Structure 1
Amino acid sequence: MPKMRNPNSPHSRYREAQRITALPLEHDLPVPDLPEGRDWSDHERAYWKELWETPQASQWDDSTAGIVAAVVVYWSAILAGTASNTASMEYRHLTKALGLTPEGMRALGWVMGDE
């Protein structure tokens, strides 16, 4: 049975084939304003800020704001118990695409700090 590739190993040839980005554990990038067009609750504003302060957000640009806003809206609906199955699936897909899940981080080639 062939040995499994470990892209996190500093001696891995696979690491060279796939670009690995070590995310900073902290960053001082500004949090963009929430998009206009709806009233945002205090909890949604707090989650928005929390998302933009994650290590993953250091890799996002302002064009990501709409996607992050959708994540906040879906998250709010999920917590309120009003989310449809589709909204819950979209939340899962968007958080993966933004690298907010372990699976998403692997797919994007991201690791935390000096891992």
Structure 2
Amino acid sequence: MPPLPKPAATRQRRNRASTARTLAGLPDGTVVPELPPMREWTEQTRAWWADVWASPMAGEFVDGRADIHGLYVLAVLVDEFWQDPSTGLAAEIRLQRQCFGLTPIDRRRLQWEIERGEDAQERTRRRRAQPAPAAAPTDPRSALHAV
């Protein structure tokens, strides 16, 4: 008879992720910081800044005020890219934005999930409740023939 498995409470490894979160966006009443007045920002950079702070990831930036400085640096890189695009700037932007979970793969690495609305959950529930379309059964013997 094989040994019984250990109780879950006594297992050493639980594969818990310390960064796993479900993101819901900025808490109510949070003030979105403005771009610093150190330069004339391009319209594309202003739109990018607004998109970053409207994203669900913005709630993670507010907790640590040190994050804002990294976002300012990233904003400068984005602004310079829009003024004079280069592969070097694109590569640096790609590296810097990983720190803030701004792409789907970055969120996957950080184990961040975006909170889904009730409508999305309801559509998923209805889709899963529908029966799968019945495929015509095929007889594997129909492919066999005598030579």
TM-score, normalised to structure 2's length? 0.56
What is the CA–CA distance in structure 1 between the aligned matches of 2:21 and 2:105, rounded to whole Å? 15
Deviation, 1:96, is: 1.3
Question: Secondary structure of 1:40's match?
Answer: coil
What is the CA–CA distance in structure 1 between the aligned matches of 2:67 and 2:26, rounded to whole Å? 19
Deviation, 1:79, is: 4.0
1:64-84 C-alpha deviation (Å, 9 max, x unpaired): 22322233333334344x233
Is 1:64 the counterpart of 2:67 in the alignment? Answer: yes
Aligned length: 100
1:22-72 C-alpha deviation (Å, 9 max, x unpaired): 000565432112123222233322321221111111001332223222333
2:41 aligns with 40
1:95 aligns with 97
1:74–1:83: 8 Å Cα contact kept in structure 2?
A: no
1:6 aligns with none
% identical equivalent positions: 26
1:74 aligns with 77
TM-score, normalised to structure 1's length? 0.68
1:27–1:55: 8 Å Cα contact kept in structure 2?
A: no
- Quote the RMSD (CA, aligned, Å): 2.5
What is the CA–CA distance in structure 2 between the aligned matches of 1:60 and 1:26, rounded to whole Å? 9
Q: Runs of at least 4 residues of structure 1 off by over 4 A?
A: none
| Superposition map of 1:2-13 within 5 A | none
2:127 aligns with none
Where does structure 1 lack aligned partners over 5 or more consecutive residues? 1-12
Structure number, greater radius of gyration? 2
Where does structure 2 lack aligned partners over 5 or more consecutive residues? 1-13, 122-147
Deviation, 1:100, is: 0.6
